[in-house]
A = this chain, B = another copy of it.
């Protein structure tokens, strides 16, 4: 009998790209004391966001606006571009899925760095695409090698995060602009700027909404503190932006998510405070690492990659030891990166826990 699933669907693994901290807590039976593994913002959303959600809770019987009109307009005004150049989706993950779908036929090539964001790869593979990886150059994504791979493979898409996840490093706007110029125009550049708010001022190229092969993705999940609300946005040339309407789940951005993101965007003072706290927290993680004799990678994000000083197996044991001590962190798995654990900037009391538990975790991993 003919199977119900398509051959492609049959071939895909049933997988979850990231294990949530809740799943780890269910296994251990003990809640984490420091939730610093998913690059969430422990400083929380703006109090004005919290108030806006509470005030709107009675209205959740209504579908959200499928055009996400008001949030799109507010974002466009904030960015100084037309609303026709902004698409809003269920987090950057949701947008990645739609982008992969719009551009990927079975066998099409996506170029990415070995160890970069796995959810992008998940979506590309989910449409039958072939992932071609380029190793990091030290702690940075290798712009020259990525562009070269795109040319060589006639890639359909090239994925780059700036600032980078999982290492926290960044390239300057000038270097990114040079990279964009080097990539063939028939290759879409998916420039993931999830961590743009915490990056130095010269990290982000000016918005060029006329270039049809560049899509930039940003999110309310990180510095704005709305990870649980799932609101990401894409900035790009209008015809590509319009293409999202071909495939998106039109009512997918919840009513409260739209309201929360509007309130978050309106409170730039809160964002500035969070950004300052993130900068201080990065320094503190560097100091905590140094206190145990470890180096850490300079970061433009809300997390820091700490070099555990030995190989990937050792770093994994450090991670497990931290978990056992109530500290949720994650780590890169790719060769060269895998000696690091990635610690998100949390609240002071969470970093207190990290400071208290890291020495013991390092001993426990021996």
Interface residues of A (CB under 8 A from B): 1-9, 12-20, 22-23, 26, 35, 38, 40-45, 49-50, 53-54, 57-67, 69, 90-91, 93-94, 97, 101-105, 119, 126, 154, 156, 185-186, 188, 212-213, 221, 225-230, 240, 242-247, 249-252, 254-257, 260
Assembly stoichiometry (copies): 2
Residues of chain B lying within 8 A (CB to CB) of residue A41: 61
Closest to A222 in B: B61
CB distance from A111 to the nearest CB of B (A): 14
Cα of A225 to Cα of B60 in the assembled complex, Å: 7
Please determine whether B69 and A40 come into contact, CB atoms closer than 8 angstroms: no
Cα of A250 to Cα of B5 in the assembled complex, Å: 20
Contact of A226 among B13, B49, B60 (CB under 8 A): B60
Residues of chain B lying within 8 A (CB to CB) of residue A229: 60, 254-256
Residues of chain B lying within 8 A (CB to CB) of residue A254: 228-230, 254, 256-257
**Residue with the greatest number of chain B CB neighbours at <10 A, chosen from A14, A63, A105:** A63
Cα of A126 to Cα of B66 in the assembled complex, Å: 18
CB distance from A303 to the nearest CB of B (A): 14
Ordered by A's residue number, 9 sampled pairs between the chains whose C-beta atoms are within 8 Å are A3-B186, A18-B66, A19-B66, A40-B63, A43-B61, A49-B60, A53-B54, A61-B226, A63-B228
Please determine whether B16 and A66 come into contact, CB atoms closer than 8 angstroms: yes
Residues of chain B lying within 8 A (CB to CB) of residue A103: 4-6, 9
Contact of A91 among B42, B45, B251 (CB under 8 A): B251
**Residue with the greatest number of chain B CB neighbours at <10 A, chosen from A20, A213, A226:** A20
CB distance from A366 to the nearest CB of B (A): 32
Contacts A9-B243, A62-B35 given; indicate if A228 touches B256 (C-beta within 8 A): yes
Known contacts A12-B246, A14-B242, A18-B250, then 10 further A-B pairs from the complex at CB < 8 Å, ordered by chain A residue = A4-B188, A6-B102, A45-B61, A49-B57, A50-B58, A60-B226, A60-B228, A63-B221, A91-B251, A229-B255
Closest 10 CB pairs between A and B? A228-B255, A14-B245, A53-B57, A54-B54, A12-B246, A61-B225, A22-B65, A60-B228, A2-B186, A50-B57
Residues of chain B lying within 8 A (CB to CB) of residue A230: 64, 251-252, 254
Residues of chain B lying within 8 A (CB to CB) of residue A91: 249, 251-252
Contact of A245 among B15, B102, B225, B256 (CB under 8 A): B15
Closest to A51 in B: B57
Closest to A108 in B: B6
CB distance from A11 to the nearest CB of B (A): 9
Contacts A20-B65, A226-B60 given; indicate if A4 touches B54 (C-beta within 8 A): no
Residues of chain B lying within 8 A (CB to CB) of residue A63: 20, 38, 40, 221, 227-228
Contact of A185 among B1, B5, B119 (CB under 8 A): B1
Cα of A225 to Cα of B255 in the assembled complex, Å: 13
Please determine whether A4 and B212 come into contact, CB atoms closer than 8 angstroms: yes
Contacts A4-B186, A62-B227, A93-B251 given; indicate if A16 touches B245 (C-beta within 8 A): yes
Residues of chain B lying within 8 A (CB to CB) of residue A23: 65-67, 69
Cα of A289 to Cα of B309 in the assembled complex, Å: 77
Contact of A6 among B13, B15, B105, B249 (CB under 8 A): B105
Please determine whether B20 and A45 come into contact, CB atoms closer than 8 angstroms: no
Contacts A53-B256, A254-B257 given; indicate if A66 touches B20 (C-beta within 8 A): yes
**Residue with the greatest number of chain B CB neighbours at <10 A, chosen from A13, A40, A90:** A90
